[in-house]
């Protein structure tokens, strides 16, 4: 079905999927197969070997491209596999200018994997384009943006980054995991590549690890496909099924994530033990206006620090919540809480964490879609 002119909720349900031509099954079948029989050498139905192509992955890729307003999508076995594929577009000596506030695993693959292959990474605050400009050298090939950032929930102006990238002929990559395509479409603001950890809001039920890359560029897509087929970071068909199923309710879930996050952020502001509340929907958030420009709502992630700025104070609260499960990850229907300094961002040296404002007491909430009164009562008892 051509979904181009349909709105997002309809796209999420219909993009990429057709009734199965063999049986009429409304759900895309899982072809649990490694290979496809050819009637003569090179004569086949578009599928040769499941590292290269698989029907449900193909359906999911069409859906992903459609919901990000992109031309092409490639799905991976995890968000990190997607990041790995993007970095393999680079060559030794190339440089990347990256936001200094990003997922700890992205920082780790930059500094502990790709650095040893001669790729250089410069980390800057991306709230001011002058900082980015100052870090660009003749060897810079890529700008790496995450927005909202993990875990500080800063908002980076994608349109402004796109104009810097264009001026210097750089590939602009936006990790759109925290927003999801329901809230933000970076390609529309000039990004060259959008990536997702589909493990999060896209899958939405904490039951699948998956990644995705979307682009409008035929050239980048050709290279990414080549990298994927050569390196093999493909998702299994069962996992593609789960993400495809998750997509169908993304709009409904995201609306409730946003409503609940707003209630929790507003409530946290009134709590005497809380120092800073970070949620880009708050009018006092330093990037609120950029969020209003490029996002349709403000998302389900809320971070906050404590007046008692110690690891212990954070651990005390985190060990008492009952509905908010203490766990890495985010974006599922159930609420999670985490302590970036000792969990998701432990691979970033403390001095660097402190420099970007990631305090020892910072707590990150992935606000789920439970009834929000219960969530607030849970936090209240954990604080008391």
Q: Which residues bind ligand P1T (CB under 6 A)?
A: 78-80, 103, 105-106, 146, 150, 175, 177-178, 197, 199, 209, 211, 328-330, 344
CB of residue 77 to ligand P1T, shortest distance in Å = 8
Tokens at residue 190, please?
């000039």
Residue 166's SS3 state is helix
Dist CA 186 CA 191 (whole Å): 5
Of 150 and 185, nearer to ligand P1T (C-beta) is: 150
Dist CA 31 CA 42 (whole Å): 20
Q: Mind giving me the DSSP string for 55-90? A: HHHHHHHHHHHHHTT-SEEEEESSHHHHHHHHHTT-
Out of 84, 101, 157, 175, pick the active-site residue: 175
Dist CA 173 CA 349 (whole Å): 24
Where residue 295 falls (left for φ over 0; alpha for ψ -120 to 50; beta otherwise) is: beta
Comparing CA positions, the residue from 121, 95, 119, 16 lying closest to residue 59 is: 16
Of 16 and 338, nearer to ligand P1T (C-beta) is: 338
Out of 31, 51, 275, 292, pick the active-site residue: 51
Is 175 part of the annotated catalytic residue set? yes
CB of residue 352 to ligand P1T, shortest distance in Å = 17
Of 103 and 114, nearer to ligand P1T (C-beta) is: 103
Residue 366's SS3 state is strand
Out of 11, 57, 88, 200, pick the active-site residue: 200
| Cα Rg, the chain, nearest whole Å | 21
Of 3 and 184, nearer to ligand P1T (C-beta) is: 184
Strands across the sheet containing 193-197: 72-76, 211-215, 193-197, 171-175, 140-146, 95-99, 120-124
Length of the chain: 384
Tokens at residue 45, please?
């139905």
Of 3 and 195, nearer to ligand P1T (C-beta) is: 195
CB of residue 28 to ligand P1T, shortest distance in Å = 22
The three-state (H, E, C) secondary structure of 303-329, written as one string: EEEECCCCHHHHHHHHCCCCCCEECCC
Is 225 part of the annotated catalytic residue set? no
CB of residue 327 to ligand P1T, shortest distance in Å = 8
Which residue's CB comes closest to ligand P1T? 79
CB of residue 20 to ligand P1T, shortest distance in Å = 28
Is 200 part of the annotated catalytic residue set? yes
CB of residue 179 to ligand P1T, shortest distance in Å = 10
Is 103 part of the annotated catalytic residue set? yes
Of 146 and 360, nearer to ligand P1T (C-beta) is: 146
Are 210 and 236 a contacting pair, CB within 8 Å?
no
Please list the active-site residues. Answer: 51, 103, 175, 200
């Amino acid at each position: 079905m051509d979904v181009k002119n349909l709105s997002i909720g309809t796209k999420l349900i219909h993009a990429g999927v057709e009734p199965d031509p063999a049986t009429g099954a409304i759900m895309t079948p899982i072809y649990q197969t490694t290979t496809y029989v050819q009637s003569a050498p090179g004569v086949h139905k578009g599928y040769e070997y499941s590292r290269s192509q698989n029907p449900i992955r193909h359906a999911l890729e069409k859906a992903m491209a459609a919901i990000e307003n992109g031309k092409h999508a490639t799905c991976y076995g995890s968000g990190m596999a997607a990041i790995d594929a993007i970095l393999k577009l680079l060559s030794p000596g190339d440089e990347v200018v990256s936001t200094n506030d990003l997922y700890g695993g992205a920082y780790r693959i930059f500094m502990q994997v790709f650095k040893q292959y001669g790729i250089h990474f410069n980390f800057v605050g991306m709230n001011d384009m002058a900082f980015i400009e100052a870090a660009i050298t003749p060897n810079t090939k890529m700008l790496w943006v995450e927005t909202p950032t993990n875990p500080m929930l800063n908002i980076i102006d994608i349109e402004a980054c796109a104009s810097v990238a264009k001026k210097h002929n750089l590939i602009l990559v936006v990790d759109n995991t925290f927003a999801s395509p329901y809230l933000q479409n970076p390609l529309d603001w000039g990004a060259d590549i959008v990536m997702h950890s589909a493990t999060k809001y896209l899958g939405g039920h904490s039951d699948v690890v998956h990644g995705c890359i979307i682009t409008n560029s035929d050239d980048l897509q050709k290279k990414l496909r080549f990298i994927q087929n050569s390196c093999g970071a493909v998702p299994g068909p069962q996992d593609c099924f789960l993400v495809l199923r998750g997509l169908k309710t993304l709009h409904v879930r995201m609306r409730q994530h946003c409503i609940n996050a707003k209630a929790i952020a507003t409530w946290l502001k009134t709590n005497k033990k809380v120092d800073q509340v970070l949620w880009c929907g708050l009018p006092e958030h330093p990037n609120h206006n950029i969020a209003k420009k490029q996002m349709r709502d403000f998302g389900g992630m809320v971070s906050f620090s404590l007046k008692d700025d110690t690891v212990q104070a954070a651990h005390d609260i985190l060990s008492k919540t009952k509905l908010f499960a203490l766990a890495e990850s985010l974006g599922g229907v159930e609420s999670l809480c985490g302590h970036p300094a000792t969990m998701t961002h432990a691979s970033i040296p403390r001095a660097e964490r402190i420099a970007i404002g990631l305090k020892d007491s910072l707590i990150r909430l992935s606000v789920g879609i439970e009834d929000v009164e219960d969530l607030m009562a849970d936090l209240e008892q954990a604080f008391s």
